[in-house]
Amino acid sequence: MTSARKLAFISDGAAAGARAIAERLVSHGMQVMLNLGPGQDEEGAKTAFGKDLWESVLWSRGDLSQGASAGRVLSQTIEQFGTVDVLIHNSQRIVATSVEHADCRTYQDSMAVNVKSAFFLTQAFARQPTLEDSRIIYVSSIHAEKPTGSSFVYSVGKGALGMLAREAALDLGRRGASVNVIEMGPVEGDDQRFASEISDLYQYYRYKVPSAVLGTFEDLAHLIWFLSLPESRFINGSTIRLDGGFSLHYMNHKMKLGHDQNA
């Protein structure tokens, strides 16, 4: 399969997975625009991407959690390079906080990154003259459905993202767009990102995947590429869980642990 798409917009060039997504799309002939938000380090992103890939993609800068800024960034991209065929919302903010102790600022900042930016980008994307055979892909998390025990605001935001996708799929689908969600499961380092005092979900988490093999951002990139293809046109309003079966785990004594470890 080859991509007939022209331009993909990725919401956060500094987010986990952005490099893998960009690399996969570029390798299949797509033009890719990535955004850097306020305070995000351009030199750091350049180092992370590497010289060759950095020079193969386009970059914009703007606060996508603000409607005017998101509209400006996307409209400038469209004016300069043509129709945005694929919108990929890959922004995320994980802040350790609980329902009991979260303050208003933490809640608002997290929701701004995790869901408001998706809403504003979706609105700007929808203003294009045609959406025929276009794609919106929201990168979410299994924690849209499964509590983290450590960052409730992240879970709330990702849950809201799922409903935004379904509403947008119904609305924009009438104009030929497809809108889907990928709920990403565990990758290396999630035991630190979701460290919790009240949940042991990420204790021995590698072995809670039935195969005992964690996912990678390359897995995410491959799925995004497939969803961007014309062949995926009939997938709309779907939530695809990319977690290797991690969410199904409930029996510690059946985990695929090594002989030197105990559940």
- Residue 259 in any domain: the answer is no
pLDDT reported for residue 161? 98
- Residue 214 in any domain: the answer is yes
pTM: 0.94
Specify the number of domains making up the chain: 1
Spell out where the chain has E strands: 7-10, 31-36, 58-61, 86-89, 135-141, 178-184, 239-242
The enclosing domain of 19 has a CATH number of 3.40.50.720
Q: What is the pLDDT of residues 82-139, one digit of tens each?
A: 899 999 999 999 999 999 999 999 999 999 999 999 999 999 999 999 999 999 999 9
User: Which structure tokens are listed for 156?
Assistant: 């709330």
- Residue 170 in any domain: the answer is yes
Q: Which domain holds residue 109?
A: 7-254
Of 19-23, 197-201, 217-221, where does mean pLDDT reach its minimum? 197-201
- Residue 261 in any domain: the answer is no
- Residue 201 in any domain: the answer is yes
Report the DSSP pairing between strands 7-10 and 239-242.
unpaired
- Residue 206 in any domain: the answer is yes
Is residue 263 predicted with pLDDT exceeding 50?
no
Is residue 210 predicted with pLDDT exceeding 80?
yes
Q: What is the pLDDT of residues 163-183, one digit of tens each?
A: 999 999 999 999 999 999 999
Mean pLDDT of 236-249: 97
- Residue 1 in any domain: the answer is no
User: Which structure tokens are listed for 138?
Assistant: 């929201």
- Residue 208 in any domain: the answer is yes
> Residue 89 carries which side chain, given as an amino acid letter?
H
User: Which structure tokens are listed for 161?
Assistant: 């993202």
| DSSP assignment string, 107-150 | HHHHHIIIIIHHHHHHHHHHTSS--TT-EEEEEEEGGGTS--SS
b/e string for 243-257 if b means 16 or more Cβ within 10 A?
A: bbebbebeeeeebeb
User: Which structure tokens are listed for 95?
Assistant: 């802040």
pLDDT reported for residue 5? 59
